[in-house]
Amino acid sequence: MEDCRRMWRIADSVKLYGIENWGNGYFSANRKGHLTVRPKQGDSRSVDIKEVVDSLAERKITAPLVLRFPQLLQDRLRQLNECFRRSIAETNYKGQYLGVFPMKVNQRRFVIEELLKAGRSYSFGLEVGSKSELFAGMALYDNPQALFVCNGFKDDEYIRSALIGTLLGKKVVIVAEKLPEIDRILRIARGLKVVPMIGLRARLYSKGSGRWESSGGERSKFGLNTSEILAAIQLLARRNRLSCLKMLHFHLGSQVTEVKRVQEAIKEAARVYAEIVKLGVKVKYLNIGGGLGVDYDGSKTSSDYSVNYSLEEYANNVVYTIKETCKESNVPEPDIVSESGRAVAAYHSMLITEVHANLNGLVSIAPSLPGRKPTVHALVKEMEQILRSMDLKTYREYYHDALQLRDELFTLFDLGYADLWNRGRGEELFRAICEKASAFSRKSKRIPEEFETLHEGLADTYVCNFSVFQSVPDSWALDHLFPIVPIQRLGENPNVHATIADITCDSDGKIDRFVDLKDIKRVLRLHEPSSQPYYLAVLLLGAYQDIIGDFHNLMGAINEAQILIDDRGDWHLAQLTEGDTVAEALSYVGYDSAALIETYRQQIQASVSKRKIKSRQALMLMKELEDGLAGYTYLKKPR
């Protein structure tokens, strides 16, 4: 074991966890064997995540916590814009690129403010899909050059508020999802005396690929089909408002995994655009929606958690396809708008969770029982013999024998012919036999299938202090994969095979699928627990996860810290937001902490009256309950 540890290199961990595959140049490991983050690709500065977590712990800001890196948001936004700019320059494309950030991906005020700030020189705007997003976005967005795209189903209030935005000098485009919205937009605009900019969301035949492909295609719940688009144009012409039609929009669904699908959809949308222009409509913007994916597993394939294209390839394909289609149809090249959310926001945040316990830490049963010497059952003796005799040649046969012996032993227990001690000893021996058989199987040339499953079944379960439902909801709801890496001990061989359980009282609160280059790993290699805290980072959580998370078991929002890296490479805490207290979590479901405290007081008083507790004790208990209500909802580890 010692030798094995000495042989292990930090580079082995980088490879094992695939950090360079999915890390996109942002994540790495330093000489201390700690996970690090760079503020931008190719930067020599980096921040040591373990150092950040330890330093926050000293300030009583403990895990679980989210670390956010605003510089990663800025860098992703810069890369997106620069890629489009380069493609536009290289192909001599006549239009410009005007990106917008879809607020649904992460509405946090800090995220939106950072993006608008970083996007100022690129005229980078916002996309909203609901009234709440509209009201938040309108206040934060103040760039008259950038677009403000209003999507989603709309009532009159939504339309009116968006048009007030136009009156306030914002470049608002209201995208009609349904035909009747157009007349409502025109009517409300007339009342407000504004000229609206209208977009049409097209329902393309082309579909995306991957988990969200049903957001596109002819069965999609969104958008107008061809006859509805024509009807919309006729309607606008009848109302003498054809000049208000400024944008053609479509959205293929998030995380489009194949570049071929992007090309097909762009081609189709560009053809629709060209035909509309040929009808005499001056559509200025072609909005290609979201869908630009993130390579979560680092495989660069069309797996659901990856993408088989780069950002550059995406931008080149979009620009080139639109240019060629416009040339063929002899129409002007439109400004290109994209609503890329995931690709911009995913990298900037990670969850830090601490391992609290190993559920499968084996308890060796006592050789004797209180007051009685156990009589070892014949079947148990046979299992002991198997454990001693197994070798590389015989392990399969012995494993099968052990399976049978275990079943027989359990039957005899049910019938009263074997006692609890023998049942316990049998369980213990059976697990030891399985582990030995699994180890032998790994030495054979080809691992028999049953031993693959056996190996997974033997994995330990590391209980981590977080809620999957709150912090990694897509892992539970969609089986989405996110990279998970220990933030320390990367220079040591991780020789425990484990899955992860959260602390909710729900068997779905677990992670047992992990990223891999070729496959999906069913177990993650982690380190043996020691007396030191052991933290895991769940990465690339900045898109959707912050917002979709729920309050299952009232676990509540977790601590958050924003980290900035300065010119010298030192890190600073830019902002700290404490997670929910128990009282706050309870208030979301109608409990008032003052009323709760009063009830506890009465209950304690009643116990004092019945002499169950003393008055001095009563004060102490009351204080403990009050402190508990004011404390963090997550576990405190006994140290």
Is 483 one of the binding residues for ligand PLP (CB under 6 A)? Answer: no
Which span (25-33, 341-349, 396-404, 503-511) binds ligand PLP, by CB under 6 A? 341-349
Place of tokens 């102490």: 620
**Which tokens belong to 576?**
């700290």
Beta strand 47-48 pairing with 349-358 = unpaired
E-strand spans in 238-348?
Answer: 245-249, 285-287, 335-337
Nearer to ligand PLP, 52 or 105 (CB): 105
User: What count of other Cβ atoms lies within 10 Å of the Cβ of residue 595?
Assistant: 9
* Gyration radius (Cα) of the chain, Å: 30
Tell me the per-residue interface mask from 432 to 451 with ligand PLP, x by CB under 6 A, - otherwise. --------------------
Q: List the interface residues with ligand PLP, window 131-160 (CB under 6 A).
A: 151
Is 199 one of the binding residues for ligand PLP (CB under 6 A)? Answer: no
Q: What is the residue type of 616?
A: R
Is 340 one of the binding residues for ligand PLP (CB under 6 A)? Answer: yes
List % helix, strand, coil for the chain (3-state, nearest 5).
45, 15, 40
Nearer to ligand PLP, 548 or 596 (CB): 548
Is 473 one of the binding residues for ligand PLP (CB under 6 A)? Answer: no
Is 254 one of the binding residues for ligand PLP (CB under 6 A)? Answer: yes
Tell me the per-residue interface mask from 15 to 54 with ligand PLP, x by CB under 6 A, - otherwise. ----------------------------------------
Is 291 one of the binding residues for ligand PLP (CB under 6 A)? Answer: yes
Tell me the per-residue interface mask from 79 to 118 with ligand PLP, x by CB under 6 A, - otherwise. -----------------------x--x-------------
Q: Which residues contact 527 (CB under 8 A, 6 or more apart)?
A: 486, 489, 492, 494, 495, 496, 534
Kindly give the residue spans of alpha helices, DSSP state H, lying in 336-419: 342-345, 378-389, 395-415
- What CA–CA distance (Å, rounded) separates 33 from 355? 18
Contact 631, 559 (CB under 8 A): no
Q: Which residues contact 323 (CB under 8 A, 6 or more apart)?
A: 91, 93, 333
Contact 298, 260 (CB under 8 A): no
Residue of closest CB approach to ligand PLP: 290
Q: How far is the CB of 188 from ligand PLP (least distance, A)?
A: 22
Is 251 one of the binding residues for ligand PLP (CB under 6 A)? Answer: yes
- What CA–CA distance (Å, rounded) separates 197 from 607? 70
Is 216 one of the binding residues for ligand PLP (CB under 6 A)? Answer: no
- What CA–CA distance (Å, rounded) separates 200 from 173? 10
Give the Cα-Cα-Cα angle 229, 231, 235 (nearest 5 degrees): 115
Which span (62-70, 247-255, 386-394, 412-420) binds ligand PLP, by CB under 6 A? 247-255
**Which tokens belong to 340?**
């890329």
**Which tokens belong to 134?**
């509209």
Nearer to ligand PLP, 151 or 465 (CB): 151
Contact 418, 375 (CB under 8 A): no
Nearer to ligand PLP, 103 or 186 (CB): 103
Is 339 one of the binding residues for ligand PLP (CB under 6 A)? Answer: yes
State residue 211 phi and psi, 5-degree precision. Answer: -60, -30
Nearer to ligand PLP, 341 or 473 (CB): 341
Which span (251-259, 322-330, 377-385, 452-460) binds ligand PLP, by CB under 6 A? 251-259
Nearer to ligand PLP, 105 or 558 (CB): 105
Q: How far is the CB of 171 from ligand PLP (least distance, A)?
A: 17
Is 475 one of the binding residues for ligand PLP (CB under 6 A)? Answer: no
Neighbour order of strands in the sheet with 171-176: 100-102, 125-128, 147-150, 171-176, 197-201, 245-249, 285-287, 335-337
Is 223 one of the binding residues for ligand PLP (CB under 6 A)? Answer: no
Nearer to ligand PLP, 222 or 571 (CB): 222
Contacts with ligand PLP by CB under 6 A: the residue count is 17
Q: List the interface residues with ligand PLP, window 527-566 (CB under 6 A).
A: 543
Nearer to ligand PLP, 39 or 208 (CB): 208
Give the Cα-Cα-Cα angle 559, 594, 635 (nearest 5 degrees): 30
Beta strand 27-29 pairing with 510-511 = unpaired
Is 126 one of the binding residues for ligand PLP (CB under 6 A)? Answer: no
* DSSP one-letter code for 366: P
Nearer to ligand PLP, 220 or 438 (CB): 220
Nearer to ligand PLP, 14 or 173 (CB): 173
Q: How far is the CB of 108 from ligand PLP (least distance, A)?
A: 15
Q: How far is the CB of 89 from ligand PLP (least distance, A)?
A: 24
Is 354 in a helix, a strand, or coil? strand
Is 342 one of the binding residues for ligand PLP (CB under 6 A)? Answer: yes
Which span (134-142, 289-297, 477-485, 618-626) binds ligand PLP, by CB under 6 A? 289-297
Footprint of ligand PLP (CB under 6 A) = 102, 105, 127, 151, 251, 254-255, 289-292, 339-343, 543
